[in-house]
């Protein structure tokens, strides 16, 4: 069972996405922002991270940058799950090593498919 770290500052989103991934058979832990996610990664390295882009303290883009700087976390695949759907947003995500990009609101199928492809890429 793959371990997923789910990062979002909106409790309703976090709960819904957690439900989608748990129902799909993933072991899910959650964080409320990038800073909290980084602390959790140090203690319990996930197989994949699904993160929102816009959050207080540290957003998803900065989280990706921090993960890539550290050799211990640089290979963890990241899926962006965000309301930002402009091409420039996707370009920046790709430059930061994001493996898949899901636009909110998303379906369970969208999210699970993105997670599977990111884990297998």
Token pair belonging to 88: 């420039």
Structural domains in the chain plus CATH codes: 3-116 (3.40.50.2300)
CA 7/CA 17 separation, integer angstroms: 10
Q: Does pTM surpass 0.75?
A: yes
Q: What is the pLDDT of residues 86-114, one digit of tens each?
A: 999 999 999 989 999 999 999 999 999 99
Residues 6+ apart with CB under 8 A from 9: 32, 33, 52, 54, 55, 56
At 35-82, the pLDDT tens digits run 999 999 988 999 999 999 999 999 999 999 999 999 999 999 999 999
Q: Please report the sign of the dihedral spanned by the C-alpha atoms of residue 24, residue 3, residue 28, residue 107.
A: negative
């Amino acid at each position: 069972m793959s371990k997923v770290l789910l990062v979002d500052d909106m409790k309703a989103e976090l709960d819904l996405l957690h439900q989608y991934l748990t129902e799909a058979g993933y072991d899910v832990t959650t964080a409320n922002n990038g800073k909290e996610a980084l602390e959790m990664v140090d203690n319990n390295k996930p197989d994949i991270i699904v993160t929102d882009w816009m959050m207080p303290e540290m957003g998803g883009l900065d989280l990706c940058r921090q993960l890539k700087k550290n050799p211990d976390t640089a290979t963890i695949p990241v899926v962006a799950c965000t309301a930002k759907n402009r091409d420039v947003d996707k370009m920046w995500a790709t430059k930061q090593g994001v493996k898949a990009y899901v636009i909110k609101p998303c379906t369970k199928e969208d999210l699970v498919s993105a997670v599977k492809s990111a884990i297998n890429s």
